[in-house]
Structures are given as C-alpha cells and as structure tokens.
Amino acid sequence: MRHRHYLCSLLALKSGLTVLNVGSGVGDTAIELARYADVCVVGVDSNSANVRLATIRVQEAGLSHKISFIHTDLQGLLQWFPAQSFDVIYGIDSLKAVHSLESVYSTLATLLKPGGKIGIVDWCWTSQFNPSNQDHRRLAEAIEYSCRLPARAPEERSMVAARAALEGAGMIVRSCEDLAARHDAIPWYAPLEAAISDAAAPWAENPEEGCALFGGLTKNAAAVILQAAKWKLFTPMAVFIAMKAA
C-alpha cells in the first residue's frame, strides 16, 4: 500500500485522468487508486483467473463505472487500445517477466498521451552487481529459474538498462530510485527471512500455483532472493518515473 501511494504521489494523479494498470492482478491497486485519486483505471493482466476475480471485486466495491479489466498480455496491448489512449500508465512488479524492456516501453510510450507519465516499480540488479563475478551470475540465474522468469543477461536487468530502455522509447526520465537503498532500521527482506525460518509458512509448490505469501514465491525462490538482497545485489523496489514529451 505504501508503494501504491508513493507511486501515486510521484505521478501526480488527478481526478478524471485515464490510467492503464499493467499487470493488474486481482485489482487491489486499481481499486486503491480509483478511490484515492478519483481516476478511471483500465487493468490488463495475462492471467484470466485474476481478471475474473478483479472484476467481481470491483463490482462488490461499487466501482464498475471507474474500473474495468481486460485479459491480455503486454504484447497485445496495441490490439486493444489506439495510440495516445492514456494519461498515465503504471505497473508494480509487472515487468520482471517480460523478455525485452525496450519492446514493452515502446508499446507503452505509444499508448501514452503527449505529456503523460509512466510509473514503474520493478525488480532490478543494483550497482553492486558485478557481471564478472561468477557467484553474482549464479544468483541471477537461480532467481530467474526459481521464479520462472525469462533469461536476460544481468546487464539487461539493471537499473541502468531500465532507464536506457525508457529513454530509447522516447521518454524523459524524471526519477530513478532504489527504495531499498533508503536508510531503514528494518530491511525490506526481513519478513522474507522470518518466513523462511517459519516451518508453518505456506509456500507455493511452484510459481504458477498461486499463494498469498509473497505473491506466490516458492521457498527456494525466496532463499535465493534473500541471499541476493543481503549482498545488496538485488532490489524489488526500483522506481522509475518518466514523461512523454508534450
């Protein structure tokens, strides 16, 4: 919830704007922002079960006039929407499974109105990651394998690469920050570490199974993510805000 509201403040959402939520899941963020910022939200998700549940939840919340959902992947967006359809586009943890950031950001930039903004919270390697270090590379491969993510060269999953992909799509990057690098007495991975030590924690058997705990991570995936986090190589909280030239 803190990430949603922080992203909302950075995007300066105002009443009446039309917003695209990529990777909308079961609708939590869309419902939150429609209420909080009084915007109209279109959510897209590649999981049909998520779309069905999100639609039911929106109906129960009485927000069907402000929120709708479509079952499609990111590659199919231009088949659903004409160019310059949205004032704002955002996604939280929704781009980690794409094969090419360049292709996705090009599509999103096409859908954005001139002067519109994109806000993304993504999984990235930090500046501490050394592609020449074999232990670092093995961790990268282990995270991709255990989380069922497409293989990318580590350099392509860095914050530098994400910023370059936005700029390559013609976007002007206004903010690029790793929230995990902010000083905090409790590191972001503390709940993950506690759950790994909890014999009763309900881990997913596989990433496709779905589970309330940490978005459906398996225990093995959590363990490798925790190791990368403790070495300060990995962040799930890289925030990017970019604007399309007016």
CATH code, 104: 3.40.50.150
State the residue range of the domain holding 176.
2-126+151-182+234-244
Q: Which tokens sit at 83? A: 């160019």
Q: Which tokens sit at 215? A: 């978005």
pLDDT at 2: 75
Exposed (0-12), middle (13-18) or buried (19+): which is 179, by Cβ within 10 Å?
middle
* pLDDT above 60: residue 45: yes
Q: Which tokens sit at 176? A: 């690029």
Mean pLDDT of 12-31: 92
Q: Is residue 110 part of a domain?
A: yes
Backbone angles phi, psi at 106, to 5 degrees: -65, -40
* pLDDT above 80: residue 206: no
Mean pLDDT of 78-97: 94
Alpha helices in 2-80, H assignment, sequence order: 2-11, 28-37, 48-61, 77-80
pTM over 0.85: yes
How many domains does one find in the chain? 1
Q: Is residue 196 part of a domain?
A: no
The number of C-alpha atoms within 13 Å of 47 and in the hemisphere containing its C-beta is 14
Confidence class of residue 207 from pLDDT cuts 50, 70 and 90?
low
pLDDT at 205: 78
Of 127, 100, 84, 96, nearest to 22 (Cα)? 96
Q: Is residue 24 part of a domain?
A: yes
Q: Is residue 206 part of a domain?
A: no
Confidence class of residue 208 from pLDDT cuts 50, 70 and 90?
low
Q: Which amino acid is at 68?
A: S
pLDDT at 209: 56
Q: Is residue 81 part of a domain?
A: yes
Mean pLDDT of 106-123: 96
Q: Is residue 166 part of a domain?
A: yes
* pLDDT above 80: residue 242: yes
Q: Is residue 190 part of a domain?
A: no
Q: Is residue 61 part of a domain?
A: yes
pLDDT at 196: 93
Q: What does the alpha-carbon distance between residue 159 and residue 230 come to, in Å, rounded to a whole number?
A: 18
* pLDDT above 70: residue 170: yes
